[in-house]
Amino acid sequence: MKYTAVNFVSLDIQDWQKDLLIAELGDIGFDTFEDKDKGFSAYVPSANLDLQALVTVLLSNAVDYTIDYEVQDIENQNWNKLWESNFNPIVVDDLCYVRATFHESKPDFPYEIVIDPKMSFGTGHHQTTSMMLSYILENDFLDKEVLDMGCGTGILAILASKRGANTVLAVDYDDICVDSVIENSQLNALNNIEALLGSKEVIAGKSFDIILANINRNILLDQMSTYADDLRVGGELYLSGFYEEEDLPILRQCCDDLSLDYVSHKVMDKWCAARFIKK
């Protein structure tokens, strides 16, 4: 598959601004990102490059900073190798060690998650994923029926299983992610995780004790009524992929309208995760 690189250079962009820009680039089809000395490169299948959408994203973000970019067609290369080169182990709450297949095991941690870092989201490095992992570590998943919506690599589904969930359904609209969940479940010797390709239509009418959704504000708002319908009374909803000041009040109001009570939230570098319970 032929790819196009968009190389971004900025001297004054903050980390949280870069994270927001990357999230919006992901929404328009960019699937791999590589840090550079003075910026980063974003990669997209050449056939999916929409320059008008790219310019719209840049104009909507570049308010407090300036950023230059160049578009570059590149030769085919080993994309998984590039992805692996940017993957380092992480530790969450001193309890969970997330590593790739090519890293040394550390069995002293109560929970170890092994991820084969292919071109799918969810390695635990992003603040939103880290906060969701923390919520899973803090709360009771024993014998629960769990949904991981927008599952990426399946990292949340894997920890939920390791925390004692009865069954876990992992859903993503990207077939690369679905394949990744299956492979990563096998790497972690788990047999209670099912992966489905699709979106809210594949979960309609199902029933869960816990729903995990680390996506973005607009998709969460679009899917919230489905979550509310599928969540059992007393069930828990964990959301992330949005900002505290701009997005949390809107999501709280939406949840309140659907009888989903706000319980708590976490913040890391302006990113937010929140917990709700169905009345």
What is the pairing mode between strands 32-36 and 3-9?
unpaired
CA 91 vs CA 124, 134, 202, 236: distances in Å = 9, 10, 33, 25
Supply 78's token pair.
């080993």
> In the sheet that 260-268 helps form, which strands lie side by side, from edge to edge?
193-197, 167-172, 145-149, 208-214, 231-243, 271-278, 260-268
Judge contact between 5 and 82, C-beta under 8 A: no
Q: What's the N-to-C CA distance of the chain in angstroms?
A: 48
Supply 211's token pair.
């729903």
- Name the binding residues for S-adenosyl-L-methionine: 129, 150, 172, 214
Across the strands, what pairs with 41? 7, 34
How far is it, in rounded angstroms, from Cα 86 to Cα 3? 18
**SS3 for 25-77, per residue?**
HHHCCCCEEEEECCEEEEEEEHHHCCHHHHHHHHHHHCCCCCCEEEEEEECCC
- Name the binding residues: 129, 150, 172, 214
